[in-house]
Amino acid sequence: RDQLNRLARALDDQEFELYYQPQVDLAQQRVVGVEALIRWRHPQRGLLAPGHFLPLLAGTELEQAIDEWVLETALRQSDAWRHAGMALPISVNLSPQSLVRREFLDVLAHLMQQHPQIGPGDIKVEVLESAALDDIDAAMQVMEGCQALGIELALDDFGTGYSSLSYLRNLPVDLIKIDRSFVSRMLESDDDHAIVESVIFLAGKFNRPVLAEGVESMAHARALGALGCHLMQGYGIARPMPAAEIPAWQRSQY
Ligand code: G
Ligand code: G
Ligand code: MN
Ligand code: NA
């Protein structure tokens, strides 16, 4: 209770921030987008990662409010980067409950109306397969509603859930993200390497682009490139950073 009140106050007091982690296409040597990752700038404890506060919010109304805040902040950032001449698609993470709430589509449609410059593919939503599992009919409706609004869908943490294969067939996702746990271990573990290789193969069979997260070094990047996966994200490429640092980072790269 107390903790929830404190988090509600943090939202009111604008203590949350979005950091952005670049996603690149190493074959084409270009930045393809950024993933928005929430942080809490706590007045006493400093910058807190989501693991310190998101779990407290699971299933609450405050969690819905934070999803709205994340979307609104990302939409504003998208407008700002467009005005600065940068085309940089932004992926956002939403709570599992939003994915299965049909009312969430109204919120989303309203937000998109307020940002008419935002075009198809400028905003992506990352979906956890575990969230879709909660209520598959509702999830399908929300996902199709997103796509109707020009919002693309990425399947996050792919490979960690139970029904990955049937999801790949049924869910209308535009991109598959290989979970970082497999990618970060792929150089030491034959098993993890085999999982990464299989996911890349499978995504190809289903005609879905695939992005590897948790690319912690250039050795990881080369190993992925050898398997035909060129879309990547990870500490070996860039850490999540404040929006203001993205333009300089991009100039320093390509
Ligand atoms: O940024 P970090 O690596 O600490 O993120 C940890 C987890 O928190 C990741 O699984 C990520 O998907 C999740 N996460 C990060 N930002 C957000 C957000 O804005 N909303 C939600 N619901 N989850 C987020
Ligand atoms: O589950 P999701 O993909 O949304 O999680 C993103 C989280 O992963 C962020 O909190 C981000 O800080 C973290 N992350 C990003 N790149 C790397 C990496 O190369 N290694 C590790 N261990 N974590 C990473
Ligand atoms: Mn994610
Ligand atoms: Na992930």
Domain range for 240: 2-253
122 lines ligand 2 (CB under 6 A): no
- Centre of ligand 1 to C-alpha 125, Å, is 12
pLDDT of residue 171: 85
pLDDT of residue 162: 65
pLDDT of residue 164: 62
Nearest atom, ligand 2, residue 179 CA: 3
User: Which residues lie closer than 8 Å to 35 by C-beta, 6 or more apart?
Assistant: 20, 21, 23, 90, 91, 92, 93, 126, 233, 240
Q: Which residues, judged by CB distance below 6 Å to any ligand atom, belong to the binding site of ligand 1? A: 37-38, 49-51, 54, 70, 93-95, 240
- Centre of ligand 2 to C-alpha 215, Å, is 9
Residue minimizing CA distance to atom 10 of ligand 2 = 37
d(CA 234, CA 99): 25
- The CATH number of residue 25's host domain is 3.20.20.450
ipTM value greater than 0.85: yes
Residue minimizing CA distance to atom 16 of ligand 2 = 234
SS3 state at 220? helix
- What total number of domains does the chain contain? 1
pLDDT of residue 169: 81
CA distances in angstroms from 90 to 59, 218, 254, listed in the order given: 25, 24, 19
Which residue ranges in the chain fall short of pLDDT 50? none
pTM of the predicted protein model: 0.96
Question: Could you tell which of 235, 239, 241 is best to mutate to test the pocket of ligand 2, judged by most ligand atoms within 8 Å of the CB?
Answer: 235
Ligand nearest to the Cα of 96, by number: 1
Could you read off the pLDDT of 122-156 as tens digits, one per residue? 999 999 878 777 788 899 999 999 999 999 999 99
